[in-house]
Amino acid sequence: MGIVATEVQEILPGVFRWECFSPEHKVELTSHAVLVDGQLFIFDPIGLTVSAKQRLLSDHHVAAIVLTNENHERSADEWRKETNAPVWASAEAKLVLENVNRWEAGTVRWNSWEIVPLPGGAGGEVALCWRERSLVVLGDAVFNLPKYGFDVLPKKYCRDQAMLKTSLLKLIEMPFDTVIFAHGTPLLKVASVKIRELVDG
């Protein structure tokens, strides 16, 4: 993955976001870092300029690099080499990257995160929920892009879109305020309500 973002935004206290348009994928690729108990968890990372990365990492240890599905290796290997942090993904994600730590089927808790599988989406699709902050991290299951709007992953990219919608309804059984996406702008208020309206609509 050769694209490189030039700046990082702190969209909420301890929640950081960077994004860059990918000509190859013809869509914006969004990455996040979330600070939990003084440690950063990096989600679906694309590249960052040296100065931006230094600002992000200067005061924080990286606990893990997290891939929300098998399509999001992006620049994970580069980040792993620079930070010495382990890469984590679902056991079901088929990855080119080697030496990846896996959550086995049935894993519910991991550090401060709740792991929620989203069958029907991309391979190994998961959501990660930090209930203490009412925050959910999504990969491809839902996006919020200026060009394409707020929507569920299209059928042609899903293993089973109807199953994915059922998975999302299970995810939102416990409401949450904030969701951040691997593609697009976060929802910072009543996010689970908006996802329910999207799926039901």
| Residue of 186, 193, 150, 149 whose CA lies nearest to 171 | 193
Q: Give the per-residue pLDDT at 113.
A: 98
Residue type, 75: S
Write out pLDDT tens, residues 156-173: 999 999 999 999 999 999
Give residue 92's pLDDT band: very low, low, confident or very high (50, 70, 90).
very high
Cβ contacts of residue 41 below 8 Å, gap of 6+? Answer: 33, 34, 62, 63, 64, 66, 111, 113
Mean pLDDT of 170-178: 97
The number of residues making up the chain comes to: 201
pTM of the model: 0.96
Count the neighbouring beta carbons within 10 Å of the beta carbon of residue 167. Answer: 21
How high does pLDDT run on average in the chain?
96
Position 101 pLDDT exceeds 80: yes
* Alpha carbons 24 and 106: distance in angstroms, whole number: 35
Position 144 pLDDT exceeds 80: yes
Q: Give the per-residue pLDDT at 100.
A: 98
